[in-house]
Amino acid sequence: MGKLMRFLKKMLLFVLLLLLILTVYLGYDIRKNVKHVMTFESEVEQAVKENDIPEYKDLILAIIYTESKGKAEDLMQSSESVYGQQHMIGTTKESIDAGVAYLAQSLDKAEEAGCDQWTAVQAYNFGLDYIDFIKERGGKNTIRLAEEYSKEVLSPLLGNDDQRTYRYYRPQAVFYNGGFLYKNGGNMFYADIVKMNMQFIKWLK
C-alpha cells in the first residue's frame, strides 16, 4: 500500500509538472502571437476611424488574432466577403480595410435589429443573414443558437445535407460537444473564441 501511494504521488507530481510546462509554453506562445498582431495596430487604428468604429479597435485586433495571428497576407480572411472566394486578397492593408468595413456593416445591422455585439461578431464568420436569425430568437448570440444556425441553415445551404461533422479541438468545442464542427457550417464557437482572444489582447498588448 505504501509503495502504491508513493507511486501515485510521483505520478501526480509528474502530471502537475507537465501541466506547468504546458501552461508556460502556451502563455509564451500567446504573448508572442499578441505582440505580432500588435504590429498591425496603426493600420487597424486608421481603418476603424475611417469606418467610424474607433471603440472596436481591440475587437478588430482580436479578430486578426483569431483568423491568422497576423501570419498571412489576408489577416482578417476578408477575401470571401469581398470577392466571394478565398485567396483573392494579397496585402495586409486590403485585408484590414475590407475586414473592418465588413465588421462595421455587421455591427450596424445588429444594432438596427436590436441584437448584441457578439451577434455581429458571429455574423463575421457566418454571414450577415445570421443577424436576422438571432433577431427572431431574442437578439442575443449564444452557442446553442449558433449551433442551430450552423447545423440547420448554413451547412445545408453549402451542401452538407446529412449533417457531417469534423473534429475541432478548441477548448470551447471540447467542453461543449466533445470537439466538433459541422462541415461547411462555419465556426459556431467563433464569437466566444474572439471574446477570449480580445482578453489576451487587452492583457498582453
pLDDT tens digits along 32-47: 999 999 999 999 999 9
Q: Are 164 and 145 in contact (CB under 8 A)?
A: no
pLDDT at 1: 63
Low-confidence ranges of the chain (pLDDT < 50): none
Global pTM? 0.89
pLDDT at 98: 96
Residue-number span of the structural domain to which 47 is assigned: 2-204
Domains identified in the chain, total number: 1
pLDDT at 16: 81
d(CA 198, CA 146): 20
Q: Are 192 and 143 in contact (CB under 8 A)?
A: yes
Q: Phi and psi dihedrals of 114, rounded to 5?
A: 75, 25
pLDDT at 205: 82
User: Which CATH number goes with the domain that contains 12?
Assistant: 1.10.530.10
